[in-house]
Copies of this chain bind each other. A is one copy, B any other.
Amino acid sequence: MSALADMLSTIFERRYRGVREADRDNRSMEELAHDLLGNSGEISGGLVARQILDRYAALSQDEKRAFFEFVTHGLEISPQTVRDTLEAYEKKPSKASYRAFAAACEPGRQEFARRLNRVPGATGKLVDMRHDLLRLLKEHKNLEPLDVDFHHLFGSWFNRGFLVLRPINWDSSASILEKIIEYEAVHAIDSWDDLRRRLKPSDRRCFGFFHPSMSDDPLIFVEVALTRGVPNSVQGLLADEREAILEEDADTAVFYSISNCQAGLAGISFGNSLIKQVVSDLSRDLPNLKTFVTLSPIPGLNKWLGGSQISLLPRDDHKALAAHYLLEAKRPDGFPVDPVARFHLGNGAQIHAVHADADTSDNGMRQSNGVMVNYLYDLNQISQNHEKFAAEKEITASHDVRTLSATVKTSQGD
């Protein structure tokens, strides 16, 4: 039975522990950083790294900026060394010459982050560090290279193969659940009672991706409703007084909210893997499920309408306008204007239906006059939908949505 004990030892070990008073020293951050990158890293590196992390946590905004300045510029590559080692490698490719070149190309910043990461529990702190950096980046463009390094490392560390899909439910720990409340980005969760309504009923599911080194903190999660038929209103879906159905009676799974949790992982995308994995797992566990759809907002609709040429039309046919927008409103690069549409169509989903009065919240009215859209995930079609969309920018949509869109005539059409 000790696999349990084993995992437990893991869990305790993974928690970050700060440096005890007695073990702290007075060196500057720069000195500590150079020490960490130096020879003694193997033995006493843990202590040095934890001092840097502890110290960092207490820095002011300005001090953080100064720290990032140092890391960005103080641990920069040497162009001449890159050139020299490249030449040597070209002349005589070997383990030694390639290793020298690879070392020369990689700034000390990356090794610095990797050595900080040796400390149990440090991964989450590095993710937060990048979050700080991203906030500073707007005004301090010179720090951009450091962000590129973070992005590169995180892409490797948060590789899909290292992530773990876990159900999140009313039996999950309070420490995870309070993060769900905090992170829910689409339809806010007001209270623990509200959370219980999202997680506990027999017709609700939630799944998240976790990284083993951040086991209490989801990276992304999706909330799912099991329904009979495709729903046309998010308020209906989340109504307090609704009656739950039995899971085996559901024929449809509705992804009604997807939330990224870690601002420090911006640019590392998990969403499409998550949805595909959840579709696949739910199909297996609940064979009665036949349809997998989203109930998604159309965040860009009204903004786009404001600037569009659509003026001849009865503007109150919101559904038709939404269909038209989703199918026809394109960016200069030929992909849809709507970010949510780009995400789901890029994943290989197709536009299934649009619904009026589907999100009557203030936010829903403001962005799309209450219209919402179902994107359909059909596992048999995902690959070819994706190919067409990626290669030819072709959008797959149901006949109804196409028909509806065709009722809209733009002024250009005249």
Query: Footprint of B on A, CB under 8 Å?
Result: 1-11, 13-14, 39-40, 42-44, 79, 82-83, 86, 89-90, 93-95, 98-99, 101-102, 105-106, 114, 117-123, 141-142, 144-145, 147-149, 152-153, 155-157, 159-162, 164-175, 177-178, 192, 195-196, 199, 212-213, 215-216, 269, 272, 277, 281, 287, 346-348, 382-383, 386-387, 390-391
Q: Which of B40, B119, B166, B287 contacts A6 (CB 8 A)?
A: B166
- Give the residues in chain B near A160, CB-CB below 8 Å: 118-119
With A39-B390, A159-B118, A386-B44: A6-B90 Cβ-Cβ less than 8 Å: no
Assembled-state Cα–Cα distance A95/B138 (Å): 12
Instruction: Report whether A167 and B2 are in contact in the complex, using a CB–CB cutoff of 8 Å.
Output: yes
For the complex of A and B, the 8 pairs showing the least CB-CB separation, nearest first, are A2-B171, A105-B105, A212-B212, A6-B166, A95-B144, A118-B160, A98-B145, A43-B386
Assembled-state Cα–Cα distance A148/B175 (Å): 41
Tell which of A95, A141, A153, A277 has the most Cβ of chain B within 10 Å. A95
Q: Count identical subunits in the complex.
A: 4
Given contacts A2-B169, A157-B157, A192-B192, 16 further A-B contacts (CB under 8 A): A3-B3, A4-B4, A5-B171, A43-B386, A43-B390, A79-B89, A93-B145, A95-B141, A95-B147, A99-B148, A114-B156, A118-B161, A119-B160, A156-B157, A161-B213, A162-B212
Assembled-state Cα–Cα distance A216/B148 (Å): 34
Assembled-state Cα–Cα distance A240/B175 (Å): 19
Mostly, the A contact residues are: helix
Assembled-state Cα–Cα distance A379/B39 (Å): 19
**Chain B: minimal CB distance from A12 (Å):** 8
- Give the residues in chain B near A99, CB-CB below 8 Å: 148
Assembled-state Cα–Cα distance A391/B4 (Å): 42
Assembled-state Cα–Cα distance A101/B78 (Å): 13
Assembled-state Cα–Cα distance A159/B177 (Å): 29
- Who on chain B is nearest to A95 by CB? B144
Tell which of A7, A43, A98, A153 has the most Cβ of chain B within 10 Å. A43
**Chain B: minimal CB distance from A378 (Å):** 13
Instruction: Report whether A170 and B166 are in contact in the complex, using a CB–CB cutoff of 8 Å.
Output: no
**Chain B: minimal CB distance from A72 (Å):** 9
**Chain B: minimal CB distance from A285 (Å):** 10
Assembled-state Cα–Cα distance A2/B391 (Å): 42
- Who on chain B is nearest to A137 by CB? B95
- Who on chain B is nearest to A387 by CB? B40
- Give the residues in chain B near A95, CB-CB below 8 Å: 141, 144-145, 147-148
